[in-house]
Amino acid sequence: MLPVEFVQRMKSRLGEQYALFENALTQASPVSVRLNPRKQGSAITGQPVGWAEMGRYLNERPIFTLDPALHAGAYYVQEASSMFIEQAIRQHVPQTPVTALDLCAAPGGKSTHLVSLLHPDSLLVSNEVIRSRASILAENIAKWGYPNVVVTQNDPAEVGGLLGLFDVVVVDAPCSGEGLFRKDAEAASEWSEANVALCALRQRRILTDVWPALKAEGLLIYCTCTYSDEENEQVLKWLREEKDVEFCRIELGTAPGVEEVLVDGARGYRFYPHRVKGEGFFLSVMRKKSTQEKLYVRPRKSEAIAPAGIRSQIANWMRNPERLTINQLKDLLIAVPGGWSAEVELIINHLHVVTRGTALATLKHEKLIPEHAWALSTELNQDAFEVIELDETAALAYLRKDALHVESPTRGFALVTYRQLPLGWINRLGNRTNNLYPANWRIRMK
Ligand code: SAM
């Protein structure tokens, strides 16, 4: 059931096309995923999504939870329209190392996509203000396995304090969710004009707060999953009046059904479900023209670097040890992206960091106990470990954290894989095997 005022708004916006729009909402939502370019091996196949190289439409919706490859980070389940951010990045961000911020990042769709598209030596700060959502974000980032992400949990005003740190800022704003009515009946039941107005105010506040963190000449990518003028065009017009921005054009060759919106010098791109195979979505790219008044101060180098002995002991766990710096926090060893130590230190000093880089190991009585995140890292050197391949039934038992017996003549830690995709660690103790899958990540579906 669509809210009456929403129907009126859409009729006046779409005119004759309204019937097509309403009809599209009665159809099943397309199912799509985005493959991880660094983790191949899942059984997923499907038609490509035109505007996203690794995007695939599936013919039907499988029970994703029961596919171990999902938990290995081989793909991310994501609505196709929102993969359009790929065109913003490909067409406007150079393939050189950049600093990027995803401000409203949970559960991690845009962040996992961004980190796969940016130059591999870039740094991505993936932030989510709501604590419970920030831990889901950290879990999804760990599964995706890229080494160059810092997950933070802060209010946009706090993130805005990182003056001029970022070349790219993505604001995938909390919105009234009109574009998701087909997928999510609750979004329709919660819709009201008052809520649209509230969201519009909040979007301006978020943009105002984060603005100082964007470098002069940096790119702001603003997107929503709603159609309303107040949350899209009006926000862009307000940005144009309040801040000095230049709107960037996106070539639509890969996404011919997308509507280009031009109002009073502002430019954006709108997805409708009757014109594009995906849900409702809106995106705009802007360049910051105003000069940066102040810049962040680069802190002293990190004091948390692990001693040389430990670094050499653990070097062969990594595929590219020269590209990572090993930090030691009490007993925990963490691999952080090498060239960004000072920036990571700055972020640690200013924000609430949930994870930085990838946890490698815990030191216990001079021994290295591998951390779960390292099993999922795309920087893991598998040759340093014994690897045990599991079939689907055993892989699901492992992911449920059930007792697992693995025949193996040796003792100690081993990496378990499914379709050669690492899932995590086990510890073989002779007559039994410890399943080291994190308890709070385990799957509960039978
Ligand atoms: N970018 C995410 C993705 O692609 O998976 C989806 C983000 S969702 C559209 C918007 C996010 O903004 C939510 O995770 C929500 O918790 C967060 N949020 C809610 N209120 C906020 C606020 N006042 N400031 C910043 N973020 C907020």
- The model's pTM is 0.97
Out of 104, 175, 223, 225, pick the active-site residue: 225
289: confidence class by pLDDT, cuts 50, 70, 90: very high
Cβ(212) – ligand 1 distance below 6 Å? no
State which amino acid sits at residue 154. N
CB burial of 420-429 (b: ≥16 within 10 Å; e: otherwise) equals ebbbbbbebe
CA-to-CA dists, residue 290 to 63, 206, 212, 332, angstroms: 49, 18, 10, 42
Cβ(179) – ligand 1 distance below 6 Å? no
Please give the distance, rounded to the nearest whole angstrom, from the Cα atom of residue 158 to the centre of ligand 1. Answer: 15
At residue 4, φ and ψ (nearest 5 deg) are -60, -45
Task: Read off the pLDDT of each residue in 56-61 and give the average, rounded to a whole number.
Answer: 96
What is residue 96's three-state secondary structure? coil
Averaged confidence pLDDT in the chain: 95
CATH 3.40.50.150 maps onto the chain at 4-288
CA 305 to chain centroid, in Å, comes to 27
Cβ(202) – ligand 1 distance below 6 Å? yes
Please give the distance, rounded to the nearest whole angstrom, from the Cα atom of residue 133 to the centre of ligand 1. Answer: 9
Task: Tell me the longest C-alpha to C-alpha distance in the chain.
Answer: 73
Please give the distance, rounded to the nearest whole angstrom, from the Cα atom of residue 128 to the centre of ligand 1. Answer: 7
Neighbours of 215 (CB within 10 A): 19
Which ligand 1 atom is at minimum distance from the Cα of 106?
A: 14
Q: Is the four-CA dihedral 77, 82, 83, 85 of positive or negative sign?
A: negative
Predicted local distance difference test score (pLDDT) of residue 366? 85
Predicted local distance difference test score (pLDDT) of residue 297? 77
CATH 3.10.450.720 maps onto the chain at 299-382, 385-446
Give the helix, strand, coil percentages of the chain, each rounded to 5: 35, 30, 40
Which residue's CA is the closest to the ligand 1 atom numbered 20?
174
Helix orientation angle between 131-144 and 109-117, rounded to the nearest 10 degrees: 40
Query: DSSP letter at 323?
Result: G
Cβ(89) – ligand 1 distance below 6 Å? no
Residue that the structure tokens 């706090």 belong to: 158
Fold annotation for 385-446: Nuclear Transport Factor 2; Chain: A, (3.10.450)
Cβ(206) – ligand 1 distance below 6 Å? yes
Residue that the structure tokens 């393939």 belong to: 95
219 neighbors 286 (Cβ within 8 angstroms)? yes
Which ligand 1 atom is at minimum distance from the Cα of 225?
A: 9
Our mutation pick for probing the ligand 1 site, out of 32, 129, 169, counting the most ligand atoms within 8 A of Cβ, is 129
Tell me the per-residue pLDDT of 373-419, one tens digit each, with 9 for 90 and over: 999 999 999 999 999 999 999 999 999 999 988 888 899 999 999 99
Which CATH class name applies to 299-382?
alpha beta
Q: Which residues pair with 353 in a beta bridge?
A: 152
Name the helix (H) or strand (E) containing 293. none
CA-to-CA dists, residue 302 to 115, 343, 359, 368, 438, angstroms: 24, 9, 16, 22, 29
Task: Read off the pLDDT of each residue in 54-64 and give the average, rounded to a whole number.
Answer: 97
Q: Is the four-CA dihedral 432, 437, 438, 440 of positive or negative sign?
A: negative
Neighbours of 184 (CB within 10 A): 15
Instruction: Output the six-digit token pair for 190.
Output: 């919660």
430: confidence class by pLDDT, cuts 50, 70, 90: confident
Predicted local distance difference test score (pLDDT) of residue 295? 76
Query: What's the CA gap between 175 and 203, in Å, rounded?
Result: 8
Query: What's the CA gap between 380 and 362, in Å, rounded?
Result: 16
Active site residue 248: no
Identify which of 428, 427, 406, 425 has the alpha carbon closest to the alpha carbon of residue 417: 425
What is residue 370's three-state secondary structure? strand
Cβ(133) – ligand 1 distance below 6 Å? yes
Task: Read off the pLDDT of each residue in 63-76 and give the average, rounded to a whole number.
Answer: 98
Which residue's CA is the closest to the ligand 1 atom numbered 19?
174
312: confidence class by pLDDT, cuts 50, 70, 90: very high
Which ligand 1 atom is at minimum distance from the Cα of 175?
A: 9
CB burial of 14-30 (b: ≥16 within 10 Å; e: otherwise) equals beeeeeebbebbeeebb
Please give the distance, rounded to the nearest whole angstrom, from the Cα atom of residue 435 to the centre of ligand 1. Answer: 34
Predicted local distance difference test score (pLDDT) of residue 300? 65
Cβ(104) – ligand 1 distance below 6 Å? yes
Identify which of 95, 54, 90, 355 has the alpha carbon closest to the alpha carbon of residue 221: 90
Predicted local distance difference test score (pLDDT) of residue 405? 81
Instruction: For residue 37, give every residue at least 6 positions away whose Cβ sits within 8 Å of its Cβ, in sequence order, or none.
Output: 54, 116
Q: Is the four-CA dihedral 300, 306, 312, 317 of positive or negative sign?
A: negative
Predicted local distance difference test score (pLDDT) of residue 338? 87
At residue 368, φ and ψ (nearest 5 deg) are -100, 120
At residue 47, φ and ψ (nearest 5 deg) are -70, 140
301: confidence class by pLDDT, cuts 50, 70, 90: low
Share of the chain above pLDDT 90, in %: 91
**Is the pLDDT at 93 greater than 90, yes or no?**
yes
Which CATH code fits 4-288?
Answer: 3.40.50.150
Our mutation pick for probing the ligand 1 site, out of 104, 135, 195, counting the most ligand atoms within 8 A of Cβ, is 104
Cβ(198) – ligand 1 distance below 6 Å? no
Please give the distance, rounded to the nearest whole angstrom, from the Cα atom of residue 292 to the centre of ligand 1. Answer: 26
Task: Read off the pLDDT of each residue in 293-321 and give the average, rounded to a whole number.
Answer: 85
Which ligand 1 atom is at minimum distance from the Cα of 206?
A: 24
